[in-house]
């Protein structure tokens, strides 16, 4: 509707007749601002934005795509499976591109918009824009990109129609990148008939190759570089689930390392892991959900997914009000994040794992969780022990309350040992507190951490001093922890040191039930070390146990109780050693003698010797080692051995070693006969 100027003049004359006499007073300026006063200096008019029925229209934040980023995205682009479908769908003017963050959605969108243009003009629009009001420029832009608009469900079919018409008039196209949201694809396709394409990233090896080719354009140089990596390196560097951005970083790291010639593979992996650790901790510092899962994967990565999630929830549950704002621990201790977190995960697990650079493995089953790159977990601990030491008490408390499975205890102990090494032993005091204050898992984790840390020369002396102190402590839990730390699987405490510590642990206690449990822990460690030890270790254990039996103390009794089990573990080895030389054979004879003489160990030693007499193939007579052993025992003339011989003699014909026992008894009795004199 238009307004005629003459009718306006007539209306003015009718309302204000005096205006007709002096028309210089009239200024016709609809929606304008008029200043009729005296003016000195410049004038400035600030007007509001035009309003619609829904309120004022806010200014749109948009601008050209950064030229440097666009050139790289175009030069190193690897078309994903949906590229051709995306081009076809974009012919309508608007394309909804759906995919997970970090999978190269932006790169794909830019290349779709730039397709067919040598020098395209592309504009990125802020995702907070209201697409129902936004319109393209009249001319001069080939494509627009909107990353994750606020609420795509708020769009209506007529909004899409208006956008398509405006884009067609401007001869431009629009790509709207939206995340994977349940129901969104069906909503857009069913209710709008919109063009929707699901993005799946290209393989990491293809992305890696494209980036290397761009950085190293010479084919011969590139071939030498890749050959120097070796056949096993790239599969570890580029797992199938690796996002394109990670593959690009790997390519840059490889090319950077190989700038001087041969690629240092350890340097590449270490550099990537360190950079990733810093980035992950920075990203998770104020996000408790990410931070707890990050630490859980550092410790339990490679175990089943449920363990990783449960341990992350447990760490969140242990968090409480804490230190000043800005510290990393604040991310674990913010009350708003803590409330109810242990019960309900706030985000889908896939989003959480993506945020900490981890992936699920194992297909449709329970599967496992691990970082995308090896070494990231260790690099995270490096940063924590260097820059976030305020977290260490909480982390020790959490690690000491792990699950009771051997795998969880081993992982927790290894992580705790790593902290001790990285802090030059300053966290060992936390290990003592943990052993004393925690439950069964706590002292096992403490023991495992000490046994593992003892292997590292940085803290080996401090750990040995601590183990020596604990072996003499009145607290049974500390002495039991020493017994567990001396096992061979942690690997840090040598056989000689372990046997000296175990001797002290066994003799420190009394006759109470708790002291008995400590003695059993010592016996279990002796059996474990013997079962897994090499011949030299077994020789050492046999000799030291023989020395123990010469004293009438708890350690001697433990040796007598343990030795029959060792014989059953490997009778062939003891048979060989019985015939190999005087030292070991003397130790074996001494151990058998003591075990037969002790009432509590006699049944086990008896059964072990009968099985040895029986032989592996039920031979009619014992082997030479058993005959030599029995002959030496006849010479010792101990009551325990005589008890065994009489048992065998009185047994049936099927009793193992019957003939040997009869010969030994005959020899025994002949020595008891008075000598005949003329």
Least confident of 115-124, 319-328, 598-607: 319-328
With a cut of 70, say whether residue 260 has pLDDT above it.
no
- Predicted confidence band at 464 (pLDDT cuts at 50, 70, 90)? very high
Q: Are strands 94-98 and 173-178 parallel, antiparallel or unpaired?
A: parallel
pLDDT greater than 80 at residue 17: no
Of 148, 153, 197, give the one whose Cα is nearest residue 176. Answer: 148
617 pLDDT tier (thresholds 50, 70, 90): low
Neighbours of 233 (CB within 10 A): 16
For the segment 75-89, the average pLDDT, to the nearest whole number, is 94
Residue 1 pLDDT grade (very low, low, confident, very high; cuts 50, 70, 90): very low
Quick one: what percent of the chain has pLDDT higher than 90? Answer: 57
Token pair in block for residue 591: 């151990």
pLDDT for the residue numbered 34: 47
Percent of the chain with pLDDT over 70: 83
SS3 138: coil
Model confidence at 406: pLDDT above 80:
yes
Phi-psi category of residue 31: left, alpha or beta, with phi > 0 → left and psi -120 to 50 → alpha? left
φ/ψ of residue 454, rounded to 5: -65, -20
Rounded Cα gap, residues 630 and 659, in angstroms: 12
Q: What are the start-end ranges of the E strands in 397-450?
A: none
pLDDT at 35 over 60: no
Contacts 24+ apart (CB under 8 A), 79-83: 79/111, 79/202, 80/104, 80/108, 80/199, 80/200, 80/201, 80/202, 81/200, 81/202, 82/108, 82/197, 82/198, 82/199, 82/200, 83/108, 83/111, 83/112
Confidence class of residue 567 from pLDDT cuts 50, 70 and 90?
A: very high
The phi, psi pair for 55, rounded to 5°, reads 115, -175
Query: With 60 as the cut, is the pLDDT of residue 8 above it?
Result: no
Q: Is 547 exposed, middle or buried (0-12, 13-18, 19+ CB in 10 A)?
A: middle
Q: Which residues of 164-197 are buried (b: 16+ CB within 10 A; e: fewer)?
A: eebbeebebbbbbbbebeeebbebbeeebebbbb
3-class DSSP assignment, residue 346? coil
Most confidently modeled of 2-11, 148-157, 327-336, 440-449? 440-449
pLDDT at 130 over 80: yes
For residue 363, what pLDDT band results from cuts at 50, 70 and 90?
Answer: low
Query: Which has the higher per-residue pLDDT, 22 or 411?
Result: 411
Lowest model confidence (mean pLDDT) among 102-111, 221-230, 632-641: 221-230
Distance CA(191)–CA(663), nearest Å, equals 100
Q: Is pLDDT above 70 for 324?
A: no
pLDDT over threshold 50, residue 19: no
Kindly report the CATH class assigned to 62-198.
alpha beta
Task: Choose the most confident range, by mean pLDDT, from 183-192, 541-550, 579-588.
Answer: 541-550
Q: What is the mean pLDDT of the chain?
A: 84
What CA–CA distance (Å, rounded) separates 294 from 296?
5
Lowest mean pLDDT among 31-40, 233-242, 402-411, 524-533: 31-40
Specify the higher pLDDT residue, 153 or 385: 385
Contact present, 184 and 214 (Cβ < 8 Å)? no
Burial class for 502, CB neighbours closer than 10 Å (0-12, 13-18, 19+): buried
pLDDT at 616 over 50: yes
Q: Which of 438, 489, 493, 488 is nearest to 465 (CA)?
A: 493
**Digit-coded pLDDT (tens) for 570-609:** 999 999 999 987 888 999 999 999 999 999 999 999 999 9
Residue 56 vs residue 571, higher pLDDT = 571
H helix intervals, 76-149: 83-90, 105-114
Q: Quick one: which of 534, 548, 539 has its CA closest to 503? A: 548
- pTM of the predicted structure, to 2 decimals: 0.79
DSSP conformation class of 55: E
pLDDT tens figures, 158-174 = 888 888 899 999 999 99
Q: Sign (positive/negative) of CA torsion 329, 333, 337, 341?
A: positive
Please give the distance of CA 369 from its chain centroid, rounded to a whole number. 7
- The per-residue pLDDT for range 298-323, each reduced to its tens digit, is 999 999 999 999 999 999 999 855 44
Query: pLDDT-derived band of residue 45, with 50, 70 and 90 as boundaries?
Result: very low
The owner of tokens 């402590």 is: 473
Of 143, 178, 258, nearest in space to 212 by CA: 258
Domain boundaries, the chain: 62-198, 204-263, 545-673
Torsion angle (degrees, nearest 10) of CA 468, 471, 474, 476? 140
pLDDT, tens digit (0-9, with 9 covering 90-100), for 495-532: 999 999 999 999 987 777 788 899 999 999 999 999 99
């Amino acid at each position: 509707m238009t307004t005629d100027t003459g009718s306006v003049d007539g209306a003015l004359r009718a309302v204000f007749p005096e205006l007709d006499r002096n028309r210089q007073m009239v200024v016709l300026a609809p929606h304008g601002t008029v200043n009729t006063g005296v003016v000195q200096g410049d004038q400035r008019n600030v007007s509001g934005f035009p309003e619609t029925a829904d309120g004022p229209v806010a200014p749109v934040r948009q601008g050209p795509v950064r030229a440097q980023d666009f050139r790289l995205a175009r030069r190193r682009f690897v078309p994903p499976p949906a590229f051709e479908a995306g081009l076809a769908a974009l012919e309508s003017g608007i394309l909804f591109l759906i995919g997970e963050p970090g999978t190269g959605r932006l790169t794909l969108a830019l290349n779709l918009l730039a397709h067919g243009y040598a020098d395209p003009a592309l504009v990125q629009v802020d995702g907070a824009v209201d697409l129902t009001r936004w319109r393209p420029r009249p001319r001069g832009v080939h494509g627009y990109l909107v990353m994750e608009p606020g609420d795509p469900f708020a769009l209506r079919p007529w909004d899409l129609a208006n956008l398509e018409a405006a884009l067609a008039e401007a001869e431009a196209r629009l790509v709207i990148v939206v995340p994977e949201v349940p129901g969104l694809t069906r909503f857009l396709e069913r209710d709008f008939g919109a063009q929707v394409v699901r993005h799946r990233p290209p393989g990491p090896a293809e992305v890696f190759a494209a980036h290397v080719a761009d950085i190293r354009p010479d084919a011969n140089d590139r071939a030498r570089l890749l050959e120097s990596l070796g056949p096993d390196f790239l599969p570890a560097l580029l797992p199938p689930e690796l996002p394109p951005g990670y593959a690009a970083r790997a390519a840059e790291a490889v090319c950077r390392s190989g700038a001087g010639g041969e690629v240092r593979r350890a340097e590449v992996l270490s550099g990537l892991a360190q950079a990733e650790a810093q980035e992950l901790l920075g990203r998770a510092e104020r996000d408790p959900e990410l931070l707890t899962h990050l630490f859980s994967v550092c410790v339990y990565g490679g175990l089943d997914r449920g363990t990783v999630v449960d341990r992350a929830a447990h760490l969140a549950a242990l968090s409480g009000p804490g230190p000043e704002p800005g510290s990393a621990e604040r991310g674990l201790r913010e009350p708003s994040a803590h409330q109810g977190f242990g019960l309900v995960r706030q985000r889908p697990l896939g989003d959480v794992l993506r945020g900490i650079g981890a992936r699920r493995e194992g297909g449709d089953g329970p599967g496992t969780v691990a970082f995308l790159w090896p070494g990231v977990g260790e690099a995270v601990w490096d940063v924590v022990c260097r820059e976030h030491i305020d977290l260490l008490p909480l982390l020790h408390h959490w690690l000491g309350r792990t699950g009771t499975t051997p795998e969880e205890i081993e992982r927790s102990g290894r992580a705790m040992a790593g902290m001790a090494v990285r802090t030059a032993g300053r966290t060992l005091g936390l290990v003592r507190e943990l052993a004393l204050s925690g439950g069964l898992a706590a002292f096992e984790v403490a023991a495992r951490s000490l046994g593992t840390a003892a292997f590292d020369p940085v803290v080996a002396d401090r750990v040995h001093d601590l183990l020596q102190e604990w072996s003499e402590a009145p607290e049974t839990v500390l002495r039991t922890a020493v017994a567990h730390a001396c096992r061979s699987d942690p690997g840090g405490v040598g056989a000689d040191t372990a046997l000296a510590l175990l001797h002290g642990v066994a003799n420190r206690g009394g006759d109470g039930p708790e002291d008995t449990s400590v003695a059993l822990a010592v016996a279990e460690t002796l059996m474990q070390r013997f079962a897994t030890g090499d011949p030299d270790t077994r020789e050492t254990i046999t000799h030291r146990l023989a020395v123990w039996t010469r004293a009438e103390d708890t350690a001697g009794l433990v040796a007598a109780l343990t030795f029959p089990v060792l014989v059953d573990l490997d009778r062939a080895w003891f048979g060989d050693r019985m015939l190999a030389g005087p030292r070991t054979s003397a130790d074996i004879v001494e151990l058998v003698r003591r075990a037969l003489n002790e009432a509590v160990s006699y049944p086990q030693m008896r059964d072990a010797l009968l099985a040895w007499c029986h032989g592996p193939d039920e031979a009619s007579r014992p082997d030479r080692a058993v005959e030599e052993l029995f002959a030496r025992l006849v010479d010792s003339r101990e009551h325990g051995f005589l008890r065994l011989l009489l048992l065998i003699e009185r047994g049936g014909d099927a009793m193992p070693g019957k003939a040997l026992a009869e010969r030994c008894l005959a020899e025994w009795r002949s020595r008891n006969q008075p000598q005949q004199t003329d």
